[in-house]
Structure 1
Amino acid sequence: MNQSENTNIYSFKLFDFHFVNVNPACTTIPSPRSGHRILCTARYIYLYGGYNPSLNPPTCQDIWKFNFATRKWKRCAENQNIPNEVTSIAAVRRKHELLVFGGTAVPFGFRCSNKLHSFHVNDKTESFSTYRISGKSPQSMYGQAMVLHKNLLYVIGGTDGFTFTCDIHRVNLNKDVKVWKQMYKTSRITVDNCEDNAPYEPEGRYRHEVGFDGNNIFLIGGGTSCKSYNLTEIPIFNIASRTWRRETSIAVANGELSYPQPRKCHGLVQFKSGNKNYVYIVCGLGDEGALNDLWRLQLSTLQWTLIKNPVLPKGLYFHATALSYHGKMYIFGGINGSRDLKRTNDIYCAWMYIPKLSEICWEAVLYYIGYKNVTKTILRQLKVPERFINRLS
């Protein structure tokens, strides 16, 4: 076994974000970007799309994967027909599919999409395709959010660059003939000017995130081109009644009552522990600039908890987040808090909950071997179970 590059003792910590070094053996890595999305499988982070005005062209029409164990990037789907509308897309994972919807090209808003694309991944093949869906499709927009529940895919909100909506559409992906169904149509009446007896409707928005408890969609933040919405009152859409309501969340008591600052372009991950659904939000763009904090919201009680502030070296927005199968949040890219609006291709990660002991042991083994040295041969010499060895690319 090669000499370990780590002399410190490994320790497990919750909510402790650290920088993830990329293996120097990588000959190419993704360019710095914003407005992209990432999703996790058991082995990889998958990266889709994005934007960087210093590139030519500025839109990132590419798909990459990053192996957790070896820390190597590899470009995927190089010969696939990736569309131009790859900025501010929405994305979710469905079994072996990475689903991406909407998005915009440059100039923003003048070229938008309402197509649903699938990047299918398994142990042997990777393929990119576009779903054929009939019915009343969502408007071509960007900055939407998505929820997947029992093969029902919900698309929420978005903008065409001029108007902002809270429209909701749904499609059943298990049907042979797939049809869009409009669940809610924004009336264009805002909260500020609607009549007292009118049904509640949240203000239209983009770059929001959503939580889901099986019955309700929780709208978390978002905004318009000049405004970020607060996180004090949470708009909630019931999928059975197809109606919106709003509920006041519970502030965290740290000497005095406080809520997360209003924000858009933030990151969110969700997981369930027992009968409790939690969402974590990290960083984002507030009214006064880039934010640098981590908050938790319990959906059943709407109780906020401030986990950490600051969490990263600088504030960040237009980044992408995803939760691994085993409870680690990953952050990739975005615009940092500096005045030059610099985009980044940095990776950070932190545990959001305590995983199985075997996962902690696996992480410790990789820590002591060193990601530059890890091979299947070394792991087999150490009698590491094959299910972990198979995570190497």
Structure 2
Amino acid sequence: MNQPIPYGRQHITDDDIAAVAEVLRGPFLTQGPHIGAFETAFARYIGSPYAVAVANGTAALHLCCIALGVKPGTRVITTPITFSASANCVRYCGGEVFFADIDPNTALLDINMVRELLEQHPRGYFSGIIPVDYAGYPVDLTAFRALADEYGLWLLEDSCHSPGGSFHGGDEQEHRCGDGSLADLAIFSFHPVKHIAAGEGGMITTSNEALYNHLLRLRTHGITNKPGDLTELYPGEPERGGWYMELQELGYNYRLTDMQAALGTSQLNRADVMLARRQEIAQRYDEAFAGTNVITIIPPDSVNHAYHLYVIQVDDRKGLYDFLRTKNIMAQVHYVPVHLMPYYRQFGWKPGDFPNAERYYAHCLSLPMYPTLTDEEQDYVIESVREWAALRLVNA
């Protein structure tokens, strides 16, 4: 291949460009009508009663932690196999991050390890859990919800990899990722390599109206002008006009722009088609690597995997990574375990703390996965991986 094949890529159509151009010709660039339209459409797609659009997925996590009451002394559990923002959001609020190991069969946060961690501490020691739908594989939140309820914890679902994904849990019902039926809050990202590419952007979904209204205020500096939310007149205050607004708490400028919302809505119109293509690509990879020494994670029929990433595991990950680069295939690694990052090592986390996560990291490699990946390009990727595997056998 003459052109590099990245691990992920956005797909921008003429309809997407027209949607953004329409906003540029209109009266609003920031908080205009396309924000609400995007929120409504996204909530409908996910199946959630409420949705709040924000600047990016990290901002979504940060605001959720504020709304859930994270502060200094708050302790939260998450997975080490995730992008660092899933943990950093707790630190932004001064809280403490605790990790639990992954299930090697799914690469997801292992609920048994979480339970073990909870049992090692008195009740009330922890406040919440942040499970991550890593690579697009939905976490079984029915089990996590039961555990959270048992210990009085909140659940924040990091669904950045899984819009459109779903699972049948222990209650034998289908749950869409982020639909608000199990987690208190869920978040999504619209980074270019994600399912919906808005340049940047994020969304928070919930079924809790109080949290929803709080998040609306937090994303705009903590300011409100809703008559029902305003405080009483203070002594000597002039009569209030239509201009009046109140800063009621310390919030942030985490707003999405109308341009991004228009792009996101346009992309959402073909979300099901793009998801189906991702799943088709994953099936072709599954079939190609069946019976080889390339390890893949294939979900059961009860799981509708969203395939943000297609991750394989091999003995010599760096060898394959370097070999694919010579073939113009830009495979990537997701992720360096968060607890091994220098920032988190200062809190006492160290190699050996989570052997499943560390073993997974040592062998995992994300192959190209995006809807516009052609069959020809994918065949080239598959042939290159097989070529490397054959060379490994010869040189063994």
Q: Which has the higher contact order (CA 8 A, sep 6+)?
A: 2
- Could you state the TM-score of these two structures normalised by the residue count of structure 1? 0.24
Bigger radius of gyration among the two: 2
- Could you state the TM-score of these two structures normalised by the residue count of structure 2? 0.24
Greater fraction helix: 2
Greater fraction strand: 1
